[in-house]
Amino acid sequence: MRITVVGSGYVGLVAGACLADIGHVVILVDSDQKKLAALRSGEVPIHEKFLPELLQRHRDRNLKFSGDLQAAARSSEVIFIAVGTPPTEQGEADLSYVESVAREIAGAIDGYKVVVEKSTVPVYTSHWVRKIILRHGVKPGSFDVASNPEFLREGTAVADFLYPDRIVVGADSERCASLLRAMYAPLVEGSYYSRADAIPRPDAAHIPPPLIVTSTKSAELIKHAANAFLAMKISFINAVASICESVNADVKQVCEGVGTDRRIGPRFLNPGIGYGGSCFPKDLMAFRAVARECGYDFRLLDEVIRINEDQRNRFVRKVRSALWTLRGKRLGVLGLAFKGGTDDIRESPAISLVQTLLQEGCQIAAYDPAARERAREVLNDSVELVDNCYDAARGADALLLLTDWEEFSALDLSRLYREMKYPIVIDGRNLYSPEHMAAQGFTYYSVGRPAAAPENQPAARSQVGDADPS
């Protein structure tokens, strides 16, 4: 098929590259000429596994870049809208970019086309996209509007697109549903997976993936409901971790006991410094706004958000409990992206914590394998951005682990010990065993587990919230 994807941001770029990889001819449209020039020259604007390979494979063949939306739309059967939907001050999704694209698409409909919402949008967006196009004189039978939400995780987005848990197609006509079934046929029928050049299969991938056809309104709700539920799991286990700290229990053991229940599962039961990124915070606020408009007070979402914000405050108190006063202390920080595997620092809890600690008067040397340049734009010269983990640790009063990059869980602990002024590690991602760190000479704090210290040193102070049974 010939497909247009409007928007070369995270979702649009990944979707366009993957649709090209399963055999379609894709035109990626953006109004930013500088971004288009960079893509045409071979630059990859985001850190995402397998994306450089797909762009190299399909650039100027199955994947082309254009600034002319109407020309691209006229030549295509399916038009994806993948533009930004940033939150307003009230927490609602700003749909002005979606509306602008819908108006422009209206002028290009000269035969039957399917307009697909790929951006994360609130319920009723498809209704309004259709209404906008009709207001521009387009005949009702010459197009359909569908919802095809993405379920991509940054760092594994290409694999998530090509090996999805499910494909959700929200369509209100059989003609529309049939066209989108045909578009996804290489995945749903499995032909893509037999190719020698297919992206490697992730562990536990379900092949072929199920394709679920719903109404457009149901599909729009599925995306928000899924992200809200996952954020709730993260906040829930962080709340449990706080109780574990109070009673001197081990949240890792609690997670194992809870996560082996097949009704619950272990995924997202990872206590830490809270969720971040471009999706969860924005989508929870948008879903809460939708519920409010519908007359439902979704107070559960309020608590999920509150727990997530409090988790960062608890971590700062944990740093203070390890160091007493913070002004003038030198801290090494490992991780600035909101999660490992990406250079995305949007709503990053690591960045938020660094900014708070700077306000407390700390001096910070930080290292991130991919997010250094993006972090520099936000932190400017307030933080020393270094080239490796050991440079961050050098002369530090304490080392903070804030992002779950794989390389951070395989540090040379002997070298780390030698580099630090005081061997204190405060782990916001629970990457190490407390017993192992204590055996290596470190005083070690983590989330939801008792603090640990070497036998020849005084026991580590109780963590914030710890109860004294005496």
Please list the alpha-helical segments (H only) found in 51-91.
51-58, 69-74
* Bridge partners, residue 115, by sequence: 79, 145
Identify whether 423 is preceded by a cis peptide bond (ω within 30 of 0): no
Q: Are 246 and 239 in contact (CB under 8 A)?
A: no
Strand segments, DSSP code E, in 107-224 are 113-117, 143-147, 167-170, 211-214
Neighbours of 104 (CB within 10 A): 16
Task: Tell me phi and psi for residue 51, to 5 degrees.
Answer: -65, -45
Neighbours of 392 (CB within 10 A): 26
The catalytically annotated residue of 18, 176, 244, 279 is 279
Question: Catalytic residue at 294?
Answer: no
Write the burial class of residue 112 (CB in 10 Å: 0-12 exposed, 13-18 middle, 19+ buried).
middle
Distance CA 410, CA 412 (A): 7
Q: Give the distance, in angstroms, between the CA of residue 299 and the centroid of all CA atoms in the same chain.
A: 24
Among residues 101, 102, 100, 113, which one has the least CA distance to residue 74?
Answer: 113
What amino acid positions are annotated as catalytic residues?
A: 279
